[in-house]
Chain A
């Protein structure tokens, strides 16, 4: 039991940190990355929670999460790369964005 507790605490701490990165930004891609990281950690958290409650059959939902996380990330990035959800708009290449996107040494 104690190992599940330790791992759960670790995963929750990791979620907190990733959430901080999602809030701090600074660039959009950082947010997508943080969102993706939170998704991965939620999958782990779900598995751990199943073991904590003694009902690990609920792993199905972790599987679904893995799928959804992937699909959401790909959809978001399609949105950035092509600025559209439909392939017909592919020719509209987005303008080069070039702000000051370095986040400083320690974010």
Chain B
């Protein structure tokens, strides 16, 4: 932190255009998340969270973390949108009104955790510091030796697939199992699964907490729904 050469300013002078891009994206992220918080319609929230992951992946690219951005784009914008929509098929389309007491508690928890995280970043080495632990010990060895030892041009690939090969294999096995389990639970690709999904929610009829597919066909619910979001706005 007290390094005389501040790498952060060297890499990211605040006059550089990319700095303003980062600032703009961060502002948009804040706006999006506030909008997500205020929205009661779950579909809108899913849509906004898709937008949120697109923007945050762009932010990762601005921070030179391209591999993280790849993951965020594929998982955040692609898969998780689909998964959340699938989940919405089974549950309600609208958020339940929350009790104010819980909100206060949640706010306290958020403030404490957020404060702790911000406090933790104070100890982190400045952005792009060559003397930071991440860049000096094992990391440096990977950078120096992977080209010779593995002869693959991409260092991330060599670390994941070779140096940490067993680790990765375990991860892949876990994720594969989880994916299989999700497919079994959702019944994707089976005839029965689809029918079950439709039949169960039909038993329930209430509008706010009833599952989406089981909602009563109230015709004039359109513009003037007396739903929880009225109270929130």
Contact = CB atoms under 8 A, between A and B. Distances in A.
Q: Touch between A and B in complex, CB under 8 Å?
A: yes
Interface of A: 1, 4-5, 8, 12, 15-16, 19, 22-23, 25, 28, 31-32, 34-35, 38-39, 42, 45-46, 49-50, 52-53, 58, 61, 64-65, 68-69, 71-72, 75-76, 79, 83-86, 88-89, 92, 95, 97-100
A35 B50 contact: yes
Nearest to A58: B66
8 contacts: A12-B21, A16-B28, A64-B70, A65-B54, A72-B50, A72-B77, A89-B194, A95-B217
Given A8-B21, A35-B51, A71-B78, A88 B223 contact: no
A45 B61 CA distance: 10
Contacts of A42: 54-55, 57-58
A66 to B, nearest CB: 10
Interface of B: 17-18, 21, 24-25, 28, 31-32, 35, 39, 43-44, 47-48, 50-51, 54-55, 57-58, 61-62, 64, 66, 69-70, 73-74, 77-78, 81-82, 85-86, 89, 186-191, 193-195, 197-198, 213, 217, 219, 221-223
Contacts of B188: 85-86
Contacts of A16: 28
